[in-house]
Amino acid sequence: QRWYDYTGTSLENMKNSGWQVVHHPEHVDRVIKGLKNSIKTGEIWEDIYPLKSKEGNYNWFLSRASAIRDEDGKIIQWFGTNTDITVQKNAEDKIRESEERFRNVANSAPVMIWMAGTDKLANFFNKEWLHFTGRNFEEEKGNGWAEGVHPADFKRCLNVYFEAFDKQEEFYMEYRLKKNDGEYRWIS
């Protein structure tokens, strides 16, 4: 009943291919292909797409269909659900947009920027940092960045870093970091 209340349709409208009218045109071909594959293989089908309400608005739904089988394993019908995830999808989109704006700002800054999670492991380096070190993100992430710290500064640098994280305090330090030309440069 909730399907009919949301879409403003009836069982008669939804028979055969009628259900396609509530799907966004940009997604319906993918949905049909996925459903056909599941019907053919008997595998669970799951997808996320917008469905049109009776007012003509689109909300995002997580849809899932599972085969119901008889005692011989033969599919006798399908059971499907549609869960409105519009609020979640909008929140994810806003987070993604915010992260993209941050990356654009950080990558445009003429300074070296890094970030780490509460686990103390680095999870972001801007382009300026990567250019300076001549290393890629995969090499720098986690504690990889520490490989570029001058051996004479290494222990002090990590002590300051870890102590500040443990106390959740700001910190300032100067140390030598290996540049892409193999020479060490003082950075703050």
Mean pLDDT by 10-residue block, N- to C-terminus, for the chain (188 residues)? 92 87 92 92 94 95 94 92 94 93 91 93 95 96 95 95 92 96 96
pLDDT of residue 13: 86
pLDDT digits (tens, 9 = 90+) for 154-179: 999 999 999 999 999 999 999 999 99
Please provide the DSSP assignment of the chain as one string. Answer: -HHHHHH---HHHHTTTGGGGGB-TTTHHHHHHHHHHHHHH---EEEEEEEE-TTS-EEEEEEEEEEEE-TTS-EEEEEEEEEE-HHHHHHHHHHHHHHHHHHHHHHHSSS--EEE-TTS-EEEE-HHHHHHHT--HHHHTBTGGGGGB-HHHHHHHHHHHHHHHHHT------EEEE-TTS-EEEE-
